[in-house]
Structure 1
Amino acid sequence: MALLLLLLLILHRANLVDDSHRYRGPTAAWNRVSAKSASVRQMPDGGVTVRCGRLRLTQVPVDLSNLTIRLFLDKNLLRSLPADSFSDLFLLDELDLSHNQLSSLEAGCFCGLASSLRFLDLSSNRLSMLDPAALGGLRAHANLTHNPWHCDCRMQLLTPQLDLDPSSLAEVVCQTSDLPNLGMFTFVSQSVC
């Protein structure tokens, strides 16, 4: 029995077992080189941790196991997140998107994660605006540091609509502002507009 399980695990890792019913997307062809370079670790509780850091990915893989609990996409070349980027990952607890080139988050890009995601790392990207439609009701603790935030009246008005853990906003530092005489400042959720 143990030999059979070992053989299935080896075949699964070599992508020779058809378990496409567990994956989103038409095939496991998001990038064979990247898929083989990714570190996939089965957790004792049945969940999966996927590490795809430093693979120079330009888009989120579409064939990730729906048992993924932790997904690390840090240090890649992601520029934007389209709607439904993670919609089949309904167990996702931790998502690391740090050190990418993200400058936009489309509405609904985190759709399906509101009930499971507890930690979101968006640090060290190119984000300048937070949009409640993109964050889709996430209540996660988010690391939003090291982004070129532009604090204007729109940002001041939208931020109270975010459901993020309030401590997530404590470290948002505005790089630019339309507000007179404020320059660089730490974001506060009170409206001055």
Structure 2
Amino acid sequence: MQDVARPRMFGFALLWGVILLHSASVTACPSSCHCMEKNGLTVVQCMSRNLERIPADLPRDTVVLLLAANHITHIPNHAFRELHYLQELDLSNNDIETVDMGAFLGVSDSLLVLDLSNNHIQSVPKEAFARLRAKISLSNNPWHCECTLQEVLRELRLDPETVNEVICHTAVQEEYAGKPVIQVLDSGINFCNFHHKTTDVAMFVTMFGWFTMVIAYVIYYVRHNQEDARRHLEYLKSLPSNSQISKDFDTISTVL
């Protein structure tokens, strides 16, 4: 009986150890953050910790992640892909300049609130926010208003309280710099049409430049060959003609 019971006890102990290890990996907290349970939700508080990048060892059961007031400059691909329960993400008041196109892959279905306000973002790839249903704050960033930004905003659910704080810091048409993006778009401006016109003008200028170069080469070629032809003609004219050779031959024959 004891011999039979021992393997069972060993198996139970092994299973319990695996469960404990898994639990530890799920609830482990980064040393730079403070983790707590609030109303049954795992809240990870990493605010004002002088972080320069997003921690890689975040608990998998994180529901609220607070990363505001750090020095994060970049949101890389798959930054939150293990956080399948993430509902609220605060990245405000950082130094974020770039957002990779796959930055929010893995949390598009769960995320409800995303705060990217007060950063240094000028543009984002339109794929970055694909399929996100979260309410998003993009206020107080130095946005460059052009076609891509217009396409991005068309798909987003912007926070209505901060939507007028999404300002064109620069624009493909300088007259719209300093104005709220939504106000500009609501006036009927289409940055994508302007982009196409700009492209067409650039193509026309390029083609005109090539055409001018071809014409200049043809003129140079013709003139160069005309000069060679003129020299050749002068050379031929300098040669004695057949009639002159015949007269000279007759004169020699008479003398003889």
Indicate whether 1:67 and 2:61 are aligned. Answer: yes
Q: Name the SS for the 1:181 alignment partner.
A: helix
Indicate whether 1:122 and 2:116 are aligned. Answer: yes
Indicate whether 1:38 and 2:33 are aligned. Answer: yes
Aligned position for 1:99: 93
Q: Distance in 2 between matches of 1:94 and 1:166?
A: 13
Deviation sequence 1:1-53 (CA, Å, 0-9, x none): xxxxxxxxxxxxxxxx7445427xxxx7xxx9xx34522111332x2000001
Q: Root-mean-square deviation (CA), in Å? A: 2.3
Q: Distance in 1 between matches of 2:159 and 2:70?
A: 28
Indicate whether 1:22 and 2:20 are aligned. Answer: no
Equivalent residue in structure 2 for 1:164, among 151, 157, 161: 157
Q: Distance in 2 between matches of 1:158 and 1:52?
A: 28
Q: Name the SS for the 1:22 alignment partner.
A: helix
| Distance of aligned partners of 1:40 and 1:153 in 2 relative to their CA distance in 1, 3 Å threshold | same
Q: Name the SS for the 2:153 alignment partner.
A: helix
Residue 143 of structure 1 deviates from its aligned partner by 1.3
Q: Distance in 2 between matches of 1:124 and 1:174?
A: 14
Residue 166 of structure 1 deviates from its aligned partner by 7.0
Aligned position for 1:55: 49
Q: Distance in 2 between matches of 1:82 and 1:103?
A: 11
Q: Does the 8 Å CA contact 1:137/1:164 hold for their aligned counterparts?
A: no
Q: Does the 8 Å CA contact 1:156/1:191 hold for their aligned counterparts?
A: no
Q: Higher strand fraction: Structure 1 or Structure 2?
A: 1
Compare 151-160 and 98-107 and name the one that shifted more.
Answer: 151-160
Q: Distance in 2 between matches of 1:180 and 1:146?
A: 19
Task: Tell me the amino acid that sits aligned with residue 43 of structure 1.
Answer: K
Paired positions, count: 166
Q: Name the SS for the 2:127 alignment partner.
A: helix
Question: Runs of 5+ in structure 1 lacking a partner?
Answer: 1-16
Q: Distance in 2 between matches of 1:36 and 1:78?
A: 17
Q: Distance in 1 between matches of 2:174 and 2:49?
A: 42
Identical columns (%):
29
| Distance of aligned partners of 1:180 and 1:77 in 2 relative to their CA distance in 1, 3 Å threshold | closer
Aligned position for 1:145: 139
Q: Distance in 1 between matches of 2:141 and 2:176?
A: 18
Equivalent residue in structure 1 for 2:170, among 146, 152, 176: 176
Q: Higher helix fraction: Structure 1 or Structure 2?
A: 2
Task: Tell me the amino acid that sits aligned with residue 62 of structure 1.
Answer: A
Deviation sequence 1:67-114 (CA, Å, 0-9, x none): 111000011111101110001111111100011110010011111111
Deviation sequence 1:95-147 (CA, Å, 0-9, x none): 00011110010011111111111111101100011332112321111111110
Aligned position for 2:219: none
Q: Distance in 2 between matches of 1:21 and 1:37?
A: 16
TM-score when scaled to structure 2?
A: 0.59
Residue 191 of structure 1 deviates from its aligned partner by 4.6
Select the structure of larger CA radius of gyration: 2
